[in-house]
Amino acid sequence: PLTSRPTTPPPRTGPATTRTLTPPRGSVRTAMPTATPKTSRTVTGPRARSTTRSPALQVPEVQALIADRAAHMDHGADHYALLGIAANASGDEIRKVYFDYARQLHPDRLAALNIPDELHVAHKVFAQLNTAFSILSDSKRRAEYDALLGRGGESAQREEQAKAEEMANRIFEAEESYKKGELALKRDDIETAIVELKRAVELNPDEPDFTALHAWALFCAATDKNAVARQTRATLEKSIKRSPKAINPRFYLGRVHRMLGNDKEALDLFRDLLFDKPYHAEAQAEIRAIEARLQGPKPSGGGGLFGRKR
């Protein structure tokens, strides 16, 4: 059967890779300001930021960061205050800050640090940061948001906050469905996987990992791979075009090509992927399997003392 994570090719249905969650209508990564709760757009973090990536925080620091950002949310902080940036922050500054946050607060990292989140506070904080980034990284949506803040008034703020919370909930629910779909693939429960992954894509269609794994699950479920190959490739190529550095879309597209006999295309994708993630074990295994097949069986009787012709 087609499984999600086999140890050797044929393909596994999902690579063991840490993802960075992508918010709707925007994708990229994060920096680590802290600040006191504010309800205005006044910058709450340092004004000048280094271009180097912030060091990974330890457990107490991550827990303090979660509590600090949650306090900002409770006090109705706007998107600028929540991210800890100035109202005139550049797009590059916004991306750096967001990706530093994502690196510290991503659910995978919290799990690795054994930080419990029974009340889903950390998930809500991370989802709200995603929402803030998705709006402020889009020039049109940012202008609309600035206009809303300019009009002032508690009703406008409450309306925007309600929209932000709705979006945050969608991101959280999408992530949960994605995890369920991923686990279903591990169990070879393809039907359940497709249902859960479809829901994840519907809730957050701009997350490349969601669309990639959903496309891969549909491909695995198809009895006639050639019949669905064109649509599968189109979906994965679209995800790659949207997020060129995303790992999973390239990995699954490589597997599709390999299963269709397009070894050269598969090798190119796997090798390109390893430039961005050198220790991707599954891509390495795929490359070894393809190269071994291309080399063909080793000739017998040609080596050793008794194998040589005299």
Domains of the chain listed by start with CATH number: 208-296 (1.25.40.10)
Q: Token pair for residue 254? A: 């490589």
Q: Is the peptide bond before 10 cis (omega within 30 degrees of 0)?
A: yes
From residue 250, give the alpha-carbon distance in Å to each of 31, 265, 281.
27, 11, 14
For residue 299, the model assigns a pLDDT of 60
Nearest in space to 229 (alpha carbons), one of 239, 238, 216? 216
Taking only the tens place, the pLDDT of each residue in 2-30 is 444 444 444 444 444 445 455 555 433 33
DSSP 8-state class, residue 138: S
pLDDT at 68 over 90: yes
Cα torsion at 272, 276, 281, 283 (round to 10°)?
-20
Q: Is the pTM of this model over 0.85?
A: no
Q: Tell which phi-psi region holds residue 84, choosing left (phi > 0), alpha (psi between -120 and 50) or beta.
A: left
Q: Give the largest Cα separation in the chain, rounded.
A: 96
Rounded CA separation 293/229 (Å): 22
Q: What percent of the chain has pLDDT over 90?
A: 50
The answer to whether the CB of 235 falls within 8 A of the CB of 211 is yes
Q: Is 265 buried (19+), middle (13-18) or exposed (0-12) by CB count in 10 A? A: middle
Distance CA 123, CA 109 (A): 12
Dihedral, CA atoms, 100, 102, 104, 109, nearest 10 degrees? -150
Give CA torsion, residues 22, 23, 29, 34, to 10 deg: -140
Q: How far apart are CA 135 and CA 141, in angstroms?
A: 5
C-alpha pair distances (Å), 275 with each of 21, 78, 122, 190: 21, 38, 32, 31
41-50, 77-86, 116-125, 254-263: segment of lowest average pLDDT: 41-50
Q: How confident is the model at residue 58 (pLDDT cuts 50, 70, 90)?
A: confident
Tokens of 244: 């060129």
pLDDT, tens digit (0-9, with 9 covering 90-100), for 197-226: 999 999 999 899 999 999 999 999 999 999
* CB 100 within 8 Å of CB 51: no
Specify whether the CB–CB gap between 271 and 287 falls below 8 A. Answer: yes
Mean pLDDT, residues 265-285: 94
For the record, the structure tokens of 263 come out as 């070894």
Taking the C-alpha atoms of residue 94 and residue 84, their distance in angstroms, rounded to an integer, is 9
How far is the first Cα of the chain from the last one, in angstroms, to the nearest whole number?
49
Segment among 1-10, 68-77, 116-125, 300-309 with least mean pLDDT? 1-10
Of 164-168, 185-189, 252-256, the poorest mean pLDDT is in 164-168
**Mean pLDDT of all residues in 78-88:** 92
